[in-house]
Amino acid sequence: MTTFLDGPAAGKTLALKSAVVFLRVTESNGKFDALDQPDDTPHPNETLYAYQITAHHGNCHIRSGTKGASGFYAMATYKLCPEQPTDEIMRDNVAWRHWVARQPTPKYERP
């Protein structure tokens, strides 16, 4: 499970399939989610925040009675990026990938 140390998502836990180095976290009406899959795109009403990984603890398997909820999930910890990209960059997948490619890779704990 993925947790957040600070920023708007501080103390939240999300079930994400991957632990990318830089993650776009979404917030709408007090509910948080993240764009962890390559084709994920934000909804117009969502506010976006950029987070960077501080630890990837591995993956876990969750078996759920809810259809589509079973599977492998990342166990990772993130902190808010000190400098946030513009909203325009975070809403465009290509621009987001270019922004990520220009960032220095943060050092983080790995299993």
Full residue range of the structural domain in which residue 21 is found: 2-102
**Residue 6 falls within a domain, yes or no?**
yes
70 is a domain residue:
yes
Q: Is residue 89 part of a domain?
A: yes
Q: Is residue 59 part of a domain?
A: yes
Q: Which tens digit of pLDDT belongs to each residue from 26-84?
A: 999 999 999 999 999 999 999 999 999 999 999 999 887 676 677 889 999 999 999 99
- State residue 69's pLDDT score: 74
Q: Report how many domains make up the chain.
A: 1
Per-residue pLDDT tens for 13-40? Answer: 999 999 999 999 999 999 999 999 999 9
What's the whole-model pTM score? 0.92
- Is 109 part of any domain? no
| Per-residue burial over 47-76, b = 16 or more CB atoms within 10 Å of its CB, e = otherwise | ebbbbbbbbbbeeeeeeeeeeeeeeebbbb
